[in-house]
């Protein structure tokens, strides 16, 4: 899951990026409204965390411009504006959630999981396909009720695939969910991760659609 973090307080932005990365999110950080809008046009972000007190323009303006072209992209406002009227303004402008500062990181993560569930196939934190269950809240995997440990990248890859069970994800789409800006990604990185992941999954759980990408079937096949 790829997050666009729009926060002009760089120490806070850095701290949030560390916490979100530990929770297996990929985070792109920008510090003003213009950069946020440019990134929005070019990137494949799944969720936006948006501060309102930006140096070049009000965050509500950024939100309204995002909503003109993408009415469904989840946007969580994270701001020091804590009055009820501010919250109403943010929600009326199109925000999906509103979290005043200061806040606890656990609450932010919980709210992000709610937004994730709206995006994916899951209606709860545990997604089960056949005999494989992934707990997206606690980042644990069980196969036939036995716990299986996965390295971080493999867990993120499986999460992307299982949340989109029945859909084909291209190599580029998977890279965008695993890697941040500027990270060097070898041409065969996804293939290597898929190969390692397949060894721990049931036979034929992950399918290769030649020339297109990868998918997990959500049928009983």
* CA 6/CA 57 separation, integer angstroms: 12
Task: Look at strands 132-135 and 140-143 and give their pairing.
Answer: antiparallel
Q: pLDDT at position 175, please? A: 86
* CA 195/CA 191 separation, integer angstroms: 6
Q: pLDDT at position 196, please? A: 93
Give per-residue pLDDT as tens, 77-119: 999 988 899 999 999 999 999 999 999 999 999 999 888 877 7
Positions of the chain with pLDDT lower than 50, given as ranges: 121-123
* CA 20/CA 105 separation, integer angstroms: 9
CB atoms within 10 A of CB 143: 16
Q: pLDDT at position 121, please? A: 45
* CA 30/CA 4 separation, integer angstroms: 8
The answer to whether 51 and 204 are in contact (CB under 8 A) is no
Q: pLDDT at position 183, please? A: 65
* CA 82/CA 59 separation, integer angstroms: 14
Residue 86 backbone dihedrals phi, psi, to 5 degrees = -65, -45
Q: Any idea which residue has 């020091």 for tokens? A: 80
Tokens at 158, concatenated: 């499986």
> Cα–chain-centroid distance for residue 130?
24
Q: pLDDT at position 184, please? A: 67
Closest CA to 163 of 198, 192, 194, 129: 129
């Amino acid at each position: 899951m790829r997050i666009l973090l729009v926060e002009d307080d760089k120490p806070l932005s850095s701290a949030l990026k560390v916490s979100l990365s530990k929770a297996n999110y990929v985070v792109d950080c920008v510090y003003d409204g213009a950069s946020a809008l440019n990134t929005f046009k070019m990137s494949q972000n799944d969720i936006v965390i948006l501060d309102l007190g930006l140096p070049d323009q009000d965050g509500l303006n950024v939100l309204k411009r995002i909503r003109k072209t993408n009415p469904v992209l989840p946007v969580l406002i994270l701001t020091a504006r804590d009055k009820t009227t501010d919250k109403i303004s943010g929600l009326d402008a199109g925000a999906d959630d509103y979290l005043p500062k200061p806040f606890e990181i656990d609450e932010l993560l919980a709210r992000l999981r709610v937004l994730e569930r709206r995006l994916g196939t899951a209606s709860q934190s545990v997604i089960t396909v056949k005999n494989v269950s992934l707990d997206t809240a606690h980042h644990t995997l069980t196969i036939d009720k036995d716990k299986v440990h996965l390295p971080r990248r493999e867990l993120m890859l499986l999460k992307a695939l299982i949340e989109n069970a029945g859909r084909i994800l291209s190599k580029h789409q998977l890279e965008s969910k695993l890697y941040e800006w500027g990270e060097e990604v070898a041409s065969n990185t996804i293939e290597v991760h898929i190969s390692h992941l397949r060894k721990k999954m049931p036979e034929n759980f992950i399918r290769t659609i030649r020339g297109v990408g990868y998918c997990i079937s959500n049928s009983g096949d």
